A = this chain, B = another copy of it.
Amino acid sequence: MIYQQVVNAINESSNIIITSHVNPDGDNIGASLALCQALLKLGKDAVFVLDDSVPELYKFLPGAEKVQKPDFLQKNSFDLLISMDCGDLERLGRVKDYIQGRKLINIDHHISNTKFGSINLVEENAAATAEIAYKLIKSMGIFIDKDIAQCVYTGIVTDTGQFQYSNTTEETHVIAAELIIAGVSPADIFNKVYQNNPKEKILLMKEALKSLDFHFNDKASCITISRSQLDSISGDELDTEGIVNLARDIASVEVAVFLKEKEPNIVKASLRSKSRVDVCAIAKEFGGGGHIRASGCTIEGTIEQAKEKILSVIQKQI
């Protein structure tokens, strides 16, 4: 059984590096920190190495302050690498440069996982990699304390969209119940993860909503934001995730598009659909990809040109 192989590999190792993907989110940070703390409790020398910063939002998680950058791997010896929530080697960023000849455990729940590990614990039906981390920690007989529980819970709640995406199973809820018993306060995590937006996020929403319009009998909706609008709100790259959902969550809408001018004449498109239209196929027409209900692509041209191009493809599908 794969779990036993993973446990054996951990038991045979002393210096263990946990790593994960760039552009981190609640699940890869939560799953990695949970496993790291569990291994420390087991007496291992475990360090979480990431080629990116922990997002501000997740810095409250126990252990987030100890995360190391890839150069740690140059200076320190280690005998096992564990990759969390990462579909392929490229997404490890510069950590990839240190894996050759190493024993590598690949723990993930993405259907697209390339099985790049020496051991692959890939469960496509798991709601979150944090769910797999939880089961692994339990199978090692490690007590789930409040710190570990908070990390696992944050991974699950963010990757399931608060227990609502189709990946949510009865097992997800049973685990959530056990995590609350272990000390998690759902309201506390909710406050930290969802009520803690930078001011710029709502200013961006306000600015972007000005452009909202509807097409094809309100079956498609579109929101755009230009480079100059973005720059007028903040010098930093802003989190625009979630804006496309505002355009989607309207009864009549089947396809929603959000167009962001990344740089002059380069427009990033985010697409969402509800039940009929395959937006992955639409994104592929522009060299992008993703899932049937959520996809993305990059289109050359002004925002207006990009909008015209993508709406004409949507029109054929809707």
- A residues near B (Cβ < 8 Å) are 157, 161-166, 168-174, 176-178, 180-181, 185-187, 189-191, 194-199, 201-203, 205-206, 209-210, 212, 214, 218, 246-252, 274-275
Contact = CB atoms under 8 A, between A and B. Distances in A.
Contact of A164 (B177, B178, B186, B248): B186
Given A173-B176, A174-B173, A209-B206, A248 B195 contact: yes
B187 A166 contact: yes
B246 A202 contact: yes
7 pairs of A and B residues whose beta carbons are closest in the complex:
A173-B177, A162-B162, A164-B190, A166-B187, A170-B177, A206-B209, A173-B176
Contacts of A168: 180, 186-187
A202 B209 contact: yes
Could you say how many copies of this chain the assembly holds? Answer: 2
Interface centre among A196, A202, A203 (most CB of B within 10 A): A202
Given A170-B180, A172-B177, A205-B209, 18 more contacts: A157-B163, A164-B186, A164-B190, A168-B186, A169-B180, A170-B181, A177-B177, A197-B249, A199-B214, A202-B246, A202-B247, A202-B249, A202-B250, A203-B212, A205-B246, A206-B209, A206-B210, A206-B212
Nearest to A208: B206
B251 A197 contact: yes
B170 A274 contact: no
A286 B292 CA distance: 51
A202 to B, nearest CB: 6
Contacts of A252: 199
Given A201-B250, A202-B250, A210-B206, A164 B180 contact: no
Given A163-B163, A181-B170, A249 B206 contact: no
A274 B186 CA distance: 14
A185 B275 CA distance: 14
B206 A186 contact: no
Given A178-B170, A202-B209, A206-B209, A194 B250 contact: no
